[in-house]
Structure 1
Amino acid sequence: MRIARVERDGQVFYAAVEGTLLRRLEGCIFDEVRLTDETYRLDEARLLSPVQPSKVVAVGINYADHMEEMKHQKPEDPVIFIKPASCVVGPDEPIVRPPQSARVDYEAELGVVIGRHCQRIGADEAMDYVLGFTCVNDVTARDIQQKDGQWTRAKGFYTFAPIGPWIETAFDYTQADVESRLNGKVCQHSNTRLLMNPIPKLISFISQVMTLEAGDVIATGTPAGIGPMVAGDVVEIEVEGIGILRNPVIDWE
């Protein structure tokens, strides 16, 4: 099922995406939902970020080509960091370039949506805790990242975690193309089979460190081809089998 979080006539609700239609859902997406007979055209509602996570846990240096691009050594363990909930925006919402940074980059990533409370689990059971998958843009103030030497500020600005357009629950995460496009030009293109740390391992590893709650998102890493965005640009993140996350770019002013 494709599950979207939408706003229509001042109401926010979840809906199943059925081609060009939205079918309203009743119940909790993390428990049990049922389809209703209430339908709308996709263009009659505004897509929101499909979840409101307590945190986005992002993984750095998880594609070998990006590791070489950034001149990093291969890490012994997965490199993880937190993007706060205040970073999260949905499809078509603007990415705001902060005045503190002269270079703000796009990073295309597959996102894993956690479906239930998850703590200290093994890799063999990790996928039982997953609701589905989505697209993530791990927006980064690259100059600040290099200056600070750690990533919290560079990754944590307002609007620096676009997520969407929806959650895909039936998805082969082992071999999906991941791509970014800037103003229609392909900048990044890779496949999840090239992840150095596979997704079950990542979920287990993170759960040994922190509790994952329903709705939390794991951004699984970006391939080579990162680059800057400026005001007026439009960036698209596409994951094969899920859809396209599209966001315009503006300056803070």
Structure 2
Amino acid sequence: PYLRALATLHVSATPDDLPCRDEEFERVLGKVEGLLEEGEGGCIYVSGVPGTGKTATVHAVVRTLHARAQASEIPPFTFLEVNGLKLTDAREAYAELWRVVSGDDMDKRVSPGEALRRLVAYFERSGRRGPEAGCFVVLMDELDQLITTKQDVVYNFFNWPTLPGSRLVVIAVANTMDLPERVMAGKVRSRLGMERINFAPYTRDQLKEIVNSRLRGGNVPPEKIMHADAIQIAAMRVAGVSGDARRILDISR
């Protein structure tokens, strides 16, 4: 049971459920599902300090949407995840999006500059495409890392969903709440009509529930692995410093 507990408490483990983020999950799910059903584009900005479950919540939303699409409850869509920490140059995001939009995974020779030109042409004429055109959901994780001096990458990914018929839904995840203000002028920002969802740091009780939920999910009775007081002390300390779920999982291991 101890090895199983170690595995289930690992930061990279995917739990069956996501405790203490039901409200945020429903908000993201409702917004993305509504856009897909209406065949519209849109942008959702998710912010919060590290370790507050932002990316995990979005992944859970996408899994739910994939299941509903497979059951023909919502239109099918293509999902792309762009992680700012994994790109050596922010403009590589253009090439990644073009590969998905064009449906050509082998088209790795397209440079970021050429991909940008093709994407601009694609989205500017997207209003004239038929209703059978594909829907795309893009998770832009670690958006803070994609900020460039010209701000063009973030601006374009925020702007394209607003174009008629784009059918592009962008879920932007960042650590800072004011990133849209820093990237875009007021007029542009108001035109985007961006849905904003902030994830507060986890409280002591929420951190305790996260540890207990992970252990129960691995079929490990929490009381047989960790003393309740140990979880309580760890939760108090982490909540007092950062409210970072990853920190309490590391401590618990």
TM-score range, shorter chain: under 0.3
> Whose helix fraction is larger, Structure 1's or Structure 2's?
2
Q: So what's the TM-score if we normalise by structure 2?
A: 0.21
Q: Which has the higher contact order (CA 8 A, sep 6+)?
A: 2
Q: So what's the TM-score if we normalise by structure 1?
A: 0.21
